[in-house]
Structure 1
């Protein structure tokens, strides 16, 4: 059985004090601080957290409050608790690598162990009055109906991203009724509508999750997301799909390959 020691207490004094006047619960403040300390490698040599009694003493809270923080860390896969052995620090899994020079998320991407990203269509329907943002990007006339597609992307059967797409219904008739093929949107556009994606523009920014993203991705309100706002073009350089995709910031790594000949 692992035992706490006075040396453990002296070696790692807590530098964080709970803000008792903050609307943020004390357990969540502790959760964030512990997560930060783990990421900084404070316990890399032991691969284990101090005991509950030591941490409760450090943060000046009850063990009940401390256990709430530990439960959230375990839920996030950061630690693993076991009776008699304390809380072990888990090895951080390799992130999903998204190659930005590929258009499709599904099928063309594999993880380090060969696992692929899959998608679930959560909603697909017609919008008769799209927003000005959608109209502008797709270069449509006001009041032109569009198809709205909402999807959940999973990696190793765990939520990775939430995507929303808008396409012209006049250009892709029946898409709202027939849905997507088994290989996804890109393959459906090619096989059913003879539309080939040749170019796309992406913009990335860090955001906090809205309630819908928090629910679908099973994260807290302070979890960082990376939002990719994209616009794709077909073989005739006509806009095809306007989209926003919200990625779990700690589960994905974006890579870009560039040819520098034009810069010479």
Structure 2
């Protein structure tokens, strides 16, 4: 299982083998994996190597350590790294996605959106994203009617990105603010949970290559099920906002 003569670091080989066992169901979600001592005997490597491999898997959210109990397999999370529709993220992860359209209406002369959109009529679309049977994300989208002609709201159960691309609008950039929010009674009902779970709220302006804002999205995610990875670079004129 481990080739010590390979140019690939031993800890990385071990890490990949543990990931493979998890994906194959050798260790199921919620199950405690072998102890460090057992892994040392199985793989014939040092305890330091074991700890490095497991430490990275903990950072990646595949494992969780519980003091005095052991290391357990985590439930897989929805992970977003770059500009990609939620539908595409779920499709790539192999999970099952269902989208519920909670509200759909046309709003007129919205004062707070006039600085963003030069449009008199704007769609407000409220959708719940259900992944593997659980409510994971609530998205409220504001988009001018001229960008998205909707004759049947069932079309909104799919990817808005793909609908917009079909009309010649490709989203390549997003200005997003992120904050944590506290679970309250409203969110508890919305996500259909009785226990308190961590939530992540985002507000984003989604734009074309010409910096034309196509839609605004206000979203709330269960951050115990969703991970948003942000890459920050100091190259060029990039700024932190």
Shorter-normalised TM-score: what interval?
Answer: 0.5 to 0.7
> 1:163 — aligned with what?
139
RMSD of the alignment, in Å? 3.1
Counterpart among 121, 127, 147 of residue 172 in structure 1: 147
Assess, with a 3 A threshold, how the Cα gap between structure 1 residues 152 and 129 changes in structure 2: closer, same or farther. same
1:41 paired with 2:22, answer no
- 1:198-220 CA distance string (max 9 Å, x none): 21111110012454432121235
> 1:190 — aligned with what?
165
Residues of 2 paired with 1:236 and 1:260: CA distance? 22
Assess, with a 3 A threshold, how the Cα gap between structure 1 residues 173 and 190 changes in structure 2: closer, same or farther. closer
Assess, with a 3 A threshold, how the Cα gap between structure 1 residues 215 and 235 changes in structure 2: closer, same or farther. same
Greater Cα radius of gyration, structure 1 or 2: 1
> 1:224 — aligned with what?
198
- The runs of 5 or more residues in structure 2 that have no matched partner are 1-63
Secondary structure at the residue paired with 1:186?
Answer: helix
Q: Relative to structure 2, which stretch is displaced further, 102-111 or 242-251?
A: 102-111
Number of residue-to-residue matches in the alignment: 174
1:147 paired with 2:123, answer yes
**TM-score scaled by length of structure 1:** 0.56
**TM-score scaled by length of structure 2:** 0.61
Q: Report the Cα offset of residue 148 of structure 1.
A: 0.5
Assess, with a 3 A threshold, how the Cα gap between structure 1 residues 235 and 206 changes in structure 2: closer, same or farther. same
Residues of 2 paired with 1:178 and 1:223: CA distance? 34
- The runs of 5 or more residues in structure 1 that have no matched partner are 1-38, 48-89
1:246 paired with 2:220, answer yes
- 1:51-72 CA distance string (max 9 Å, x none): xxxxxxxxxxxxxxxxxxxxxx
Assess, with a 3 A threshold, how the Cα gap between structure 1 residues 213 and 131 changes in structure 2: closer, same or farther. farther
Q: What is the correspondence of 1:75-154 to structure 2 with a 5 Å cutoff?
A: 91-99=73-81, 101-110=82-91, 114-130=94-110, 132=112, 134-136=113-115, 138-140=116-118, 144-154=120-130
Residues of 2 paired with 1:98 and 1:230: CA distance? 14
Assess, with a 3 A threshold, how the Cα gap between structure 1 residues 256 and 173 changes in structure 2: closer, same or farther. closer
Secondary structure at the residue paired with 1:108?
Answer: helix
